[in-house]
Structure 1
Amino acid sequence: MSVSNQGDKLRIIYQLLFDLATGRRIIDLDLTTLDDDYDAILLTLLEQGERIRKLVLEQGMVPPYASFQHLNQFVFVLDNHYRIVDFNFTVVERLKYTSEAIQSLLFETLLDDSSKLVWNALLEQVNAETHFFVTTELLFLTSDGFKLPLFCTVSNSLVNQLVFVITVKVFLKDTPFLKSIPSAITEKVKAEVAVIENVHAYILEHLDAPLPSLKSLALLFGSEEHKIRNGFREHYHTSVYQFYQDERLKKAYLLIMQTDLPLKEIAYQCGFGMYLNFYKAFRKKYGFSPSVLSRK
């Protein structure tokens, strides 16, 4: 395998596990030679992913696709003693504390013991700096005892002594198999669902480009417009265009949160020729403008 760094291989392994869990098309990797245990795991995942895909298609169903249900932004505002002075609704909803219980708590009270050590080490670092912006993973404890790992960005205000802790958690919506098994699985049925899966994969791989017309997609995949239109809605409960629009806006959301690319460049990478069109679509979907999100 061409990837030599074991850390990179681990990231690919986790990506493959995510792809398997959410029904995405498994990426192709060159595994003609196995160099170590990491490669062996990768090969197993690839083989099992293809096996699952074939079994599903043989049942006349498109593999289920688990999309993002929402991206929750956790926001804590701390005073100079690191007590919580403000927070948003997501904090209450996800950590399952009442507002009264959280108000004025020391921030570390919400953390697992291991993360308290991480938090205190981080404070030693930031206390020595006038301005700071650091990212670390912290393990939060919900009121009913569950542990919630979150990557947090910690920064201070430029005009007062407040400290901000902000993070985003991606939640997947449960996606059942959307099509019941027909009484007689024919080669025609298998071919039709394979086309729908291929159209789905094509859209995800080309979010940076304009969406082809249904006529063009039909020509590309050797099908008919009405079969793609009706099949996509039957299997994914949305239209081809709406799926494309939702996925590229979610891609834009993640690029904003995880990179320092200019917003206009992000709009371009997500298939928007004009920033104004991106701005309007983003605001319509999420209820706020792209510039509101905290950057990396």
Structure 2
Amino acid sequence: MEHIGDMERLHKVFQLLIEIALGNFSYRIERTDKKDELEALTALINIVAEELQSSFLHLGYVSLQESYMQLVHMVFLLDEDYLVVYMNQDVQRFLRLKEDELIHSPFTNIIHEDSLKVWNEQVVHLSNGKAGETELKLDFKNSKGLKHSEYCKVIIFPEDSHSSARLMIITSNVTNNKTRLENKLKQNILQKIHQPATKNERRKEGKFRLEDIKIIRAIGTYIRHHPEKEISSLRELALNFGINEFKLKRGFKATFGMTVFQFLKNERLKNSHLFVRNTQEPFKRIAYQNGFKNASLFTREFRVRYGYTPSDLRKLSQQ
């Protein structure tokens, strides 16, 4: 029986890798209380998926301004008994379920058990005959055994509405807006052609060669992969990568939306957050691996950034 259970866990890892390959980074594997190599692999795959999702959002919001947009994923209409009476086609794609498996079925059938309490507390009590709406995060479960987290807008219809539906649930996420980016780029190019920049504007914008941009991105990648490494000065960092210190300072801020040292601190805290939530590593070790001098400094910086301590996060992740 244990062998069968391990095969099921390994199958979920395989399914998540397929989703990642298809560009779907919002799926996660539910953790177990086991402490074997397969569980360590599960934690690692979850971290990879979350890092990829975070990296794409970072590039969209910082490096490729306005290249991402909110996209509706799933739409549900529920009746007064919370049975699904309508859903859009994307539901089948995200949850890997057929229409006849969902229509006239309880909405709670597709909600992960971790979110049932949230659903019952924040939504069900709103259905008291009055119209209203709320926002919450729900974990859905698909036919492959993966968790799919979505931010939801829940709209409660009044009882006297001319419809059998009483609730509408709309989920959304962030997606690439390639067409909008291309159109904006085209407009900018045409504008520059017809209205060349003045000497002052060119001096203000600065000049960055393609090679400079590649070096700056390489520095960002290096920091992501080595958050434990200290950066003594921008001059030394620029010298090590063969770029002018002034170009590094301005180019890094233009590319990543923050200074080198802000970026380093951000990566350290982000990595620490992932390891606290997804592993059982001691906080002292996590702090050391991510460049914090001691556990006390790590805890203090963590609380300032997230509003709660590493201990609070680990307790919550173990529930």
- Normalising by structure 1, we get a TM-score of 0.46
Q: Which is richer in helix?
A: 2
- Normalising by structure 2, we get a TM-score of 0.43
